[in-house]
Amino acid sequence: MPGKKETALKEELAKKAGMVQQEECPKDQPSSKGMWEIGNGSYAIRLLRADEIECRVSAINEKGVSLLLFKDARVDQRILDETFTPFGWKRTHQSIEGNLYCTVEVWDESKGQWIAKQDVGTESYTEKEKGQASDSFKRACFNWGVGRELYTAPFIWVSSEFTKVEKKGDRYICKDRFRVQSIAYNARREISALSIINSKGQKVYELKEAPSLLYLTPVQLEVLEKELVRTGVALEAVLERYHVKRLEEMTAEVYAKALNSLKKTKTREAA
C-alpha cells in the first residue's frame, strides 16, 4: 500500500494538473466526457448545451451592449430529472429574516439519506415572491453544479456596429435578442469557445478556442509520481528546471525530457 508521502504527492500532482480525483464509476453507469461525477460516481451532472443558455443585456451605452449568460429554472428541473430521476430529488422553500431560501435535496443511495444544498434568492422587478422562489432555486442548483460553468463566461461585448442601440429619454435601449449559437468547454469545465448570434442569425460575438494545454493522463502522472518518490526530487524543482510555471503547461516534449532525466537519477536511498 502507498505510504502517506506517496499519497500526498499523488494528491499534489493531481491538484497541480487541474484534475479532480474521482471514484470509479459502476460498470453499468460509465462516466461521459464533459460530465462531473458526484458522490460514489453513480450520478453525473452534464454541462449545459447551447440551446439551454440564454443571453441577457447587462449594460448598455451608445457604443454597444454587454451580455450575461444565464439559465432558467426549467433547465435546472430537466437536468435534475435526467441526473437523479424525478423521484431522486426534491425542493423546499423557507423564509428566513424576510429572505426566501430554497433547499434542493438529492437522495444518496450509498448513505441512505437526503443530501441538501441551500441558497437565497433575490427579488424580481415584476413578481416579488415568484421571482425570489425561482432565483433561490436556480442558485441552489448552482450549488449542485448545474450550470456552474456559466461563472467562467468571458466578458461579452457587442459593439453598436452589430446591434441597434437607441436613446429613449435619458437612457439607451436595445431591442435586439441574442442567443448562444455554439459553446465548448475545456477539461476543467470552463467555457473555452463561444459564439453568439442575434435574432437575424448574424454572428455578433465569438470567442475562439485557444490551443489546449496538455493535461497529463493518469498513467503519466503515476509514472512521474513514482520517479519523484524514487529519486526524492521535488516537483517544484522539475518545473523550475524546465521553466514551466504549472504542471498542466508541461508539453509532451518537456515531459519526456523530465522523465528521461529522472530515470537517470539515482534512487534516493542509494544516493
pLDDT digits (tens, 9 = 90+) for 11-53: 666 655 554 333 333 333 333 334 444 544 445 789 999 999 9
Residue 56 is inside which H or E element, if any? strand 54-61
For position 3, what pLDDT does the model report?
A: 59
Higher pLDDT, 24 or 187: 187
Q: Is the pLDDT of residue 149 over 90?
A: yes
Assigned domain for 186 exists: no
Q: Is residue 210 part of a domain?
A: no
> Measuring CA to CA, which residue among 123, 134, 126 is closest to residue 72?
134
Residue 251 inside a domain? The answer is yes
Higher pLDDT, 174 or 218: 174
104-127 tens-digit pLDDT: 999 988 889 999 999 998 866 545
Lowest-confidence range among 87-96, 101-110, 171-180, 213-222? 213-222
What domain range includes position 236? Answer: 4-19+215-270
Give me the pLDDT at residue 19, please: 45
Q: How far apart are the first and last CA of the chain?
A: 24
Mean pLDDT, range 97-109, rounded to an integer: 91
Whether 141 and 104 have beta carbons less than 8 Å apart is answered as yes
Q: Identify whether 25 is part of a domain.
A: no
Tally the domains of the chain.
1
How many whole angstroms separate alpha carbon 146 and alpha carbon 75? 9
